[in-house]
Structure 1
Amino acid sequence: MTSRRQRRAPDAEWVLMYRNGLSRARIAALEKVPASTVAYHLSVAKAQDPGLQEAHDGAAGAAPAARVTVQTMQRMNDLIAMVRTGGRYPSSKAGGAAERSLAAWLQRRRHDAAEGRLAPEIRDGLACLPDWQGTPRAAADQERWQQRLAELAAYRAAGQDWPRHKSPDTDTEHDLGVWLHTQRYKLRRGELDPAKKKTLDAAVPGWSAGRTRGRKTRPAPDRQGQAGARLIL
């Protein structure tokens, strides 16, 4: 018997449930499948039937879209400029208050989109950004990636050679070395996100080539002169 997971999108039952007012999250819970799978099927269905969203909103008694202000449009433009220039989305753990504020704004827009309340102007404007709606897990992974990059940049700025993932002198070198090795591996296989490569090239030039043969490194002093605590990958 062919499972729903193997059916060609869009799944007719899910489309009918959505048309009758059920949310993506509710359909996923009832069908015991990932919400992302339901979202994909519904996106295909909406492309085939432009009136599906309106039918869903009417059946669900959806709240009106959030009001668009001049400030909202400016925030959207700031986000687009940041992603296009820096190759990444804002982090809620950034050192700058402006970036943290922009990250909070993006999170609210993601929530609006999930609830079907995102204003058309914002939806159409953000459509130029890849995977802007993201997922909590994807956002957390991105923040960890940015944190590791910052740690590598600081390590290099302290005068250290490229960290090794084999025979390291410290736990800090090991963890950074494993992370860097993974980025190089993905680059060789053509699996590294172009935006991440651009960010790496800007933050730590020469990262893909690695250390020069015969060049020695010196142990990097961690906080209070002790070996650094193991970092989370």
Structure 2
Amino acid sequence: MTRSFSDLPVEAPLHTWIIAQRRAQNRGTLSRPKIVLLGSLPGWETSSRQFELDEQWLTRLSQFKDYIAATNHLPSYKNYETEHEHTLGVWLHVQHQKRAEKTLHPWRLEALNSTHPGWHSRT
């Protein structure tokens, strides 16, 4: 007979905790420090697609920060001067929408707030 971790009394709470952490990560509610720490554990598998999306998002955040430093204003998606500004403006608009819908990952909200505290509208 094969036993799973959840069948063992000592491992059951750990198994439950791990499942909760994976669900939180999939929902985007797992804190960045936990993501990093859990990611360093052998056998902790992360979605390569989510990793790719997070890396793309961080790249866009860096471009956003550089844009503000260079122009001293937020990028616009409607009245833009360059395609780069338009791209960043659309990205920022999507972040506004996700924030309003409460679907923006908490770590992303924190990153945006620390990059430029006045980035969002008052919704």
Report TM bin, short chain. Answer: 0.5 to 0.7
Structure 1 residue ranges, 4+ long, deviating more than 4 angstroms after superposition = none
Identical-residue share of aligned pairs (%): 29
**Aligned positions, number:** 101
Within 5 A, what are the aligned runs for 1:59-78? Answer: none
User: 1:184 aligned to 83, 91, 96, which one?
Assistant: 96
Is the 8 Å Cα contact of residues 88 and 196 (structure 1) preserved in structure 2? no
Greater per-residue helix proportion: 2
Larger Rg: 1
User: 1:113 aligned to 43, 52, 67, which one?
Assistant: 43
Return the offset for 1:160: 3.6
Is the 8 Å Cα contact of residues 149 and 200 (structure 1) preserved in structure 2? yes
What's the secondary structure of 1:183's corresponding residue? Answer: helix
Structure 2: 5+ residue stretches without partners:
12-30
Higher relative contact order (CA 8 A, sep 6+): 2
Following the alignment from structure 2 to structure 1, what is the Cα–Cα distance between the partners of residues 60 and 70?
Answer: 15
Within 5 A, what are the aligned runs for 1:70-149? Answer: 83-84=32-33, 89=36, 106=39, 109=40, 112-113=42-43, 133-149=45-61
Is the 8 Å Cα contact of residues 88 and 195 (structure 1) preserved in structure 2? no
Deviations 1:93-117 (A, max 9, x none): xxxxxxxxx9xxx4xx46x306xxx
User: 2:8 aligned to 50, 53, 59, which one?
Assistant: 50
Return the offset for 1:144: 0.7
Following the alignment from structure 1 to structure 2, what is the Cα–Cα distance between the partners of residues 88 and 163?
Answer: 30
Following the alignment from structure 1 to structure 2, what is the Cα–Cα distance between the partners of residues 206 and 173?
Answer: 18
Structure 1: 5+ residue stretches without partners:
1-15, 21-44, 54-81, 90-101, 115-132, 211-233
TM-score by length of 2: 0.67
What's the secondary structure of 1:139's corresponding residue? Answer: helix
User: 2:68 aligned to 151, 156, 162, which one?
Assistant: 156
Return the offset for 1:162: 1.1
What's the secondary structure of 1:198's corresponding residue? Answer: helix
TM-score by length of 1: 0.37
Change (3 A) 1:158 1:88: farther
Return the offset for 1:50: 2.9
